[in-house]
Amino acid sequence: MATFRRLFTPGATWFFTVVAARRRPLLTDPRVISAFGTAMREVRETLPFSMPAWVILPDHLHVIWTLPEGDADYPRRWSIIKRRTSQLAGLPSMARACSMVARRESGLWQRRYWEHLIRDADDLQRHVDYIHFNPVRHGYAGVAAAWPYSSFARHVLADTYPQDWCATRDPDIDNRGEP
């Protein structure tokens, strides 16, 4: 069995990719969107973090979190968020492998997630751009502003991006894959 090593840096900023089990396109279901939002708010009340950027696509999501000084416990946050979202979504029971049943997994989420420690301001900007361009890259929207499940509108209001940012496909963003 593979051994996964996680880096724990208190107060750091992290980019995460979290995937739906079997890449099922369930994450933009209104019940899941609502449950996920509630779970995030509940966790942020007891285990705070800031969220500079996020996007939810049908089968995966990307998010950037900055944890408080002295705190590196993002695995606990993800565990609670995934479990609470599954509880609140009210989706019908899904087929689950024996290993999923043994681990009390709902079948909504893939077991693991991918994280990347943000190194500096340029790395952060590349990941924020990647997040906001992702719906265009996957063909879910023609422009970033057209995708409703992201922090792009918040960034437009804050003058971080113009409304028409990446209105045409940007090969530098589109072809580099995961940041």
The string of pLDDT tens digits covering residues 81-135 is 999 999 998 865 654 444 444 444 457 899 889 999 999 999 999 999 999 999 9
Environment class of 106 (CB within 10 Å of its CB; exposed 0-12, middle 13-18, buried 19+): middle
Identified catalytic residue from 74, 130, 149, 161? 149
Angle between helix 74-89 and 30-46 (nearest 10)? 140
Q: What domains are there in the chain, each with its CATH number?
A: 13-174 (3.30.70.1290)
How many whole angstroms from its chain centre is CA 5? 20
pLDDT of 46 > 80? The answer is yes
Q: What is the pLDDT of residues 140-161, one digit of tens each?
A: 999 999 999 999 999 999 999 9
Question: How confident is the model at residue 8, as a pLDDT?
Answer: 87
Angle at 73 between CA 97 and CA 14, to 5 degrees: 90
Active site residue 149: yes
Note the pTM of the prediction, 2 decimals.
0.85
